[in-house]
Amino acid sequence: MYKKVTVIGAGNVGATTAQRLAEKELCDVVLIDIAEGMPQGKALDLVEAAPIEKHDAFIQGTNTYEASAGSNIIIITAGIPRKPGMSRDDLIKTNMNIMKNVTAEAAKQSPNAIIIIVSNPLDAMCHVAYAASGFPKNRVIGMAGILDSARFRAFISMELDVSVENTHAFVLGGHGDTMVPLPRYSTVAGIPITELMSAKKIEALVDRTRKGGGEIVSLLKTGSAFYAPSSATVEMAEAILKDKKKILPCAAYLEGEYGINGLFIGVPVKLGSKGIEEIIQIKLTDSENAALQKSADAVKGLVEDLKKLA
């Protein structure tokens, strides 16, 4: 296949992303991880599944970056989860250093690639990758809004007992407790959900969406979500590889849009072969805008923490 995507980090999110990319036959895949044998073993396992899944994508696992040369997209899932007794500053500093190193190595091998950031804390990690790569802002994108919107869509579907394919939703802002689900822009077969359920029920779904990642962590107890995050990441990759010009909520570097400057924030963007080809500015009510500015302030706080730790 003529297109190549490198996935850095062969944990649950990275390996499942590699699987989905290959099984959709979107590209060849290079899976990179520092753990010796792990990316090689997972890649070989995926290769052995190919005859059954009926795809001819080439999948390679490695501990170095040479095989990633000339990638169209670099997907970064590398990083550590927060452990008991670890402060937020410790987590940010460790993941900042990991992000800085892997981005620099990957960018060196693939100077024309588009980078998709999946690692947490996501909005802050986008800033690290942006600085470490030296890439233009349209080629550094954070994955969060699609995942958060998919969770909102799933909850709407469950509540109304309708097909998920009929549901559409938008979630803006940072990836965390301050995210901004927009019920006014969320529909079922074109019908606003505000016409289909009570304000109280909508607020309950909005709250569940905000806490969606934490709900899964509390159920799993020893890990975090990876099926939905990998699906969201692959939707972005497919839009780029196929130049689909798809409108999707992603973390983008804003320079004045929505009154926000110099921050990666989740907003609707047009994704195509050049990465972010347009930032879509939708009209917000005063309360929606206030919630988005509050979310931006939370991201700004993380970015300021990064600067102190650098």
C-alpha 300/C-alpha 291 separation (Å) is: 14
Q: Does residue 175 carry a catalytic annotation?
A: yes
Neighbour count for residue 251 (Cβ, 10 Å) = 29
Q: What is the DSSP letter of 66?
A: G
What is the sign, positive or negative, of the torsion defined by CA atoms of 265, 102, 4, 151? Answer: negative
Residues 6 or more apart whose CB falls under 8 angstroms from that of 254 comprise: 260, 261, 262, 263, 264, 265, 267, 279
How far apart are the two ends of the chain, measured CA to CA in Å? Answer: 40
What is the sign, positive or negative, of the torsion defined by CA atoms of 14, 20, 23, 28? Answer: negative
**H or E stretch including 16?**
helix 12-23
User: What six digits make up the tokens of 96?
Assistant: 């900042």
| Catalytic, out of 55, 127, 168, 175 | 175
Phi, psi of 269 (to 5 degrees): -135, 160
* Phi-psi sector, 131: left (phi>0), alpha (psi -120 to 50), beta: alpha
* Residues labelled catalytic: 175
